[in-house]
Amino acid sequence: MQMKGDKKEIDQDKGSKGKSISRRVLLGGAATAAVVLLKSSYGQVVQKAITQAELKISDPTKVQGPPPGVLGTRSKFETLVKKPSDTSSRTPLQDLFGTITPSDLHYERHHAGVPVIDPHSYSLTLHGMVKKPLVFSLADLKRFPSVTRIFFVECSGNYRGGKEEMTPQEICGLTSQSEWTGVMLSTLFREVGVKTTASWFLAEGSDAAVMSRSIPVSKGWEDAMIAYAQNGEAIRPEQGYPARLLLPGWEGNTSVKWLRRIELSDQPFMTREETAKYTEGVKDGKVRQFSFVMDARSIITYPAYPQQLQKGWMEIRGIAWSGRGKIYKVEVSTDGGKTWNDARLQDPVLDKAHTAFRYLWEWKGGAAELMSRAIDETGYMQPTMKQLIDARGKDMGGYHLNPVTSWLIERDGRVLFKAELTS
Amino acid sequence: MNKLWIVCSYLIVWSCNSNSDSLHVIVTAEGKTIKIDSTNWPSSFQLGRPASPEEIKKIDIDVRPDGTGLPAGEGSAIAGKAIYLSKCVACHGTDTTSPEAKLLGPVLISTKPGKNKTIGNYWPYATTLFDYVRRAMPYNEPGSLTNEEVYQLTAFLLQANKVIGEKEVMNAKTLPMVVMPAQNRFIPDDRKGGPEVR
């Protein structure tokens, strides 16, 4: 099948033949020669600037490529980007395959920008209700017994709606998954001798907001990690270089980045983030606080806006995840929730991890509505927006929203987000 | 004979715990039992260096609801207003700022009920104000305010939100005593796990 875009590119190439070789081409031709339409790996048509040099090199079997390099590159035909706002930057979920988020596409949320921290002067201090307050260097942290684990990190403010033209990235791109390596916090707790009466600890970052959160000590003993590596290399600055706290399955804000201090206490510290910010209205005028666990969720990432469907067989694809444990099942509906079918889960299904699901479907034309819902090992089923409003009331605010997401397939093949209002 | 057996087994358990430390059993403050496999681990890895009280003091900047961590000094709303108008107003506005205005920071002052979560209608603890302003504000110059200035600003923000009177002085003794209007709205996470949507 030849796409409109391919044709246009060939035409452009033809057009350049016969012309004398300009000095710019010999120099590598950095300037844009043409803007062409290309088909992305998901069939999405995108605009792409093509340089003079690229126009010339149309047959890779006739030209030597670049020699081995010191760093790999992403194909210049791939246009993966995060979507930044003033406060965050979202992962392009619709453009990813599998379940690991490339490190440079991991979502970002920080409260005072990304700090520059010299790993040689970095230190982490543990003090408060401990027998031996200690200061660890980065080298110290790396010498402790290490662990590697794959799990997601998701911001608890990870839902946007309100219009039909929205991509998965825009709806819930504040979730990403990495393979993290570091030392278990329990190992450090054992080293400093955390007192049995300590029930909370403060985790504090060394960004310009000196961002801090109170965490129950039990999470520290259970599965909290101090991570210094992400997907095989040092953590990226945006993710907390050189070391950060990670609390698997808990709202991203508690996984304090650029971690400089942990103070053990017998009460929460009531920081700004856990009082004025990451709290949500529930019924009877109450405000829910310390709502750490991310409930189960899923989203179909293909097909999704702005794809244009062609009739025939396709694989409906998406990811499901739960902060409570493993995904047990994902169900897919193609008729707006009238009937549900089991999707196939990609092994291995990991604890508190993005899990890929697939469902084969033939689109014969005509309107359809695609939905997915995750069920986790605790028996929790991803709710609809209506169920969330019924449970929390109309003033529920924007945190911890995990509604079933619907894609409307129009007769002309357009795919639109079924925007539901939160109140 | 029985007695001897009990003594022996007690010694075995004791020696297992003290020597190999293969299973580190933790009972948390909430009564949760957590077992950590530390087979072949030494009792200490001898990593890190002792943190001296002086260096802890330098970075231990948090302030708790009971007032722990509040420094010496004090401030009143009048002095705080002057700082607010020069260093805060550009991002946070005043009580006369139009609700339509697009501000860089959240609205902090409002005594009227509305969609905005303000200090007066949402913040549950007054000590949080001191802690946060001192660690993170002003946005373009974080950590630049003196303790006195932070007390002054805290007093002004509380007064502007009609939580305290104009003449009240905020210090390590008075600030933790301030009861915020929204404090009784806050409840700990009431989700209980399992199938329930909550």
Whether residue A348 is preceded by a cis peptide bond, meaning omega within 30 degrees of 0, is yes
pLDDT mean by block of 10 residues, chain B; 198 residues: 41 40 75 84 96 97 97 97 95 82 84 78 96 97 97 97 96 98 96 96
Q: Which two tokens stand for residue B185?
A: 């709205």
**Are B93 and B152 in a shared domain?**
yes
Residues A119 and A254 both lie in one domain: yes
In this structure, are A301 and A412 located in the same domain? yes
Same domain, B32 and B71: no
Confidence bin at A420 (pLDDT 50/70/90)? confident
Judge whether B49 is closer than 8 Å to chain A, CB to CB: yes
Q: Does B122 touch chain A (CB under 8 A)?
A: yes
The mean of the pLDDT values for chain A is 90
A286 touches chain B (CB under 8 A): yes
| Alpha-carbon distance B169 to nearest alpha carbon in chain A (angstroms) | 22
Q: Does A392 touch chain B (CB under 8 A)?
A: yes
Tell me, yes or no, whether A87 and A116 share the same domain.
Answer: yes
| Domain end point (choices A228, A248, A278) | A278
Is A135 in Cβ contact with B48 (below 8 Å)? Answer: yes
Q: B100 and B23 share a domain? A: no
Could you give the maximum distance between any two Cα atoms of chain A, in Å? 82
B115 & B161 share domain: yes
Is residue A345 located within the same domain as residue A375? yes
Whether B81 is covered by a domain: the verdict is yes
Q: Please state which of the ranges A22-26, A110-114, B186-190 shows the lowest mean pLDDT.
A: A22-26
Q: Is the pLDDT of residue A22 over 70?
A: no
B48-58 burial code (b ≥16 CB/10 A, e <16): beebeeeebee
Contact B57/A at CB under 8 A: no
Within a domain: B192: no
Claim to verify: residue A90 and residue A214 sit in the same structural domain? yes
Would residue B18 count as lying in a domain? yes
Q: Residue A291 falls within a domain, yes or no?
A: no
Mean pLDDT value across residues A381-409? 95
Say yes or no: A159 and A36 in one domain: no
- The tokens for A39 are 């088909």
The reply to whether A221 touches chain B by the CB within 8 Å rule is yes
Inter-chain touch B128–A275, beta carbons under 8 Å: yes
* A94, A80 contact by CB (below 8 A): no
Q: Which of A49-53, A77-81, A111-115, A383-387 shows the lowest mean pLDDT across its residues?
A: A49-53
Q: Which secondary-structure segment (H or E) carries A6?
A: helix A4-16
Question: In which residue are the tokens 């009877």 written?
Answer: A284
> In the sheet that A327-333 helps form, which strands lie side by side, from edge to edge?
A341-342, A327-333, A368-376, A406-409, A415-417
Q: Which among B38, B47, B123 is the nearest to A276, CB-wise?
A: B123
Q: Read off the pLDDT of each residue in A407-413 and give the average, rounded to a whole number.
A: 96
Nearest Cβ partner of A112 from B28, B48, B142? B142
Same domain, B25 and B70: no
Q: State which residue of chain B sits closest to A219, comparing Cα positions.
A: B28
Query: Which residues between 242 and 271 in chain A have a beta carbon less than 8 angstroms from any beta carbon of chain B?
Result: 260-261, 263, 265-267, 269-271
Residue B8 forms part of a structural domain: yes
pLDDT at res. B107: 86
B122 burial type by CB count under 10 A (0-12 exposed, 13-18 middle, 19+ buried): buried
Average pLDDT over residues A267-285: 96
Domain count, chain A: 3
Q: Tell me: do A45 and A101 sit in the same domain.
A: no
Closest by CA to A252, choosing from A117, A140, A399, A129, is: A399
Same domain, B33 and B62: no
Does B45 reach chain A within 8 Å, measured CB to CB? yes
CB A362 within 8 A of CB A409: no
What's the structural domain count of chain B?
2
Residue A288 lies in a domain: no
pLDDT average, residue stretch A249-257: 98
Closest chain B residue to the Cα of A111, Cα to Cα:
B136
With an 8 Å Cβ cutoff, are B29 and A218 in contact?
A: yes
User: Is A287 a member of any domain?
Assistant: no
Window 43-102 of A, Cβ < 8 Å to B = none
Q: Note down the domain range covering A52.
A: 4-56
A66 lies in some domain: no
Q: Could A140 and B117 be called an inter-chain contact, meaning their C-beta atoms sit closer than 8 Å?
A: no
CA dihedral A226, A229, A234, A236 (to 10 degrees): -80
pLDDT by residue (tens digit) across A330-354?
Answer: 999 999 999 999 999 999 999 999 9
What is the average per-residue pLDDT within A83-98? 95
Is a pLDDT exceeding 60 seen at residue A31?
Answer: no
The average pLDDT across A76-105 equals: 95
Q: Are residues B83 and B171 in the same domain?
A: yes
pLDDT at B19: 42
Which residues 85-104 of B have a C-beta within 8 angstroms of A? Answer: none
Same domain? For B170 and B83 the reply is yes
- Smallest Cα distance from B179 to chain A, Å: 14
CA atoms within 13 A on the CB side of B49: 8
The reply to whether B170 falls in a domain is yes
Pick among A137, A142, A218, A352 to test the B interface (most B CBs inside 10 A): A218
State the alpha helices, DSSP H only, in A260-417.
Answer: 385-392
Whichever domain contains B102, its CATH number is 1.10.760.10
pLDDT above 60: residue A423: no
CATH number reported for the structural domain that contains residue A352 in this entry: 2.60.40.650
Residue A130 within a domain: yes
Domain boundary among A39, A56, A73: A56
In this predicted structure, the answer to whether residue A11 has a pLDDT above a threshold of 50 is: no
Any A CB within 8 A of B25 CB = no
Same domain, B90 and B180: yes
Q: Are residues B86 and B179 in the same domain?
A: yes
- Say yes or no to pLDDT of A34 above 80: no
Residue B44 forms part of a structural domain: no
| In a shared domain, residues A255 and A381 | no
CATH of the domain at A254: 3.90.420.10
pLDDT in tens, A36-60: 666 665 666 666 666 666 666 678 8
The Cα A241–Cα A110 span in angstroms is 13
Query: What pLDDT is recorded for position B109?
Result: 85
pLDDT at A25: 41
* Distance in Å, alpha carbon of B2 to nearest chain A alpha carbon: 34
Range of the domain at B74: 58-185
**A202/A270 same-domain check:** yes
B78 and B9 in one domain? no
Pair B104, B176 in one domain: yes
Query: Does one domain contain both A131 and A39?
Result: no
| pLDDT band (50, 70, 90) for residue A212 | very high
Q: Which residues pair with B53 in a beta bridge?
A: none
> In this structure, are A124 and A211 located in the same domain?
yes
**Token duo for residue A293:** 């666990």
Tell me which residue in B34, B48, B64 faces A222 most closely, judged by beta carbons.
Answer: B34
Instruction: Decide if B47 is inside a domain.
Output: no
Residue B176 lies in a domain: yes
Query: From B195, which residue of chain A is nearest by alpha-carbon distance?
Result: A380
Question: Measured between CB atoms, which of B50, B187, B193 is closest to A286?
Answer: B187
pLDDT at residue number A48: 67
> What ipTM score was computed for the predicted complex, to two decimals?
0.88
Same-domain check for residues A307 and A158: no
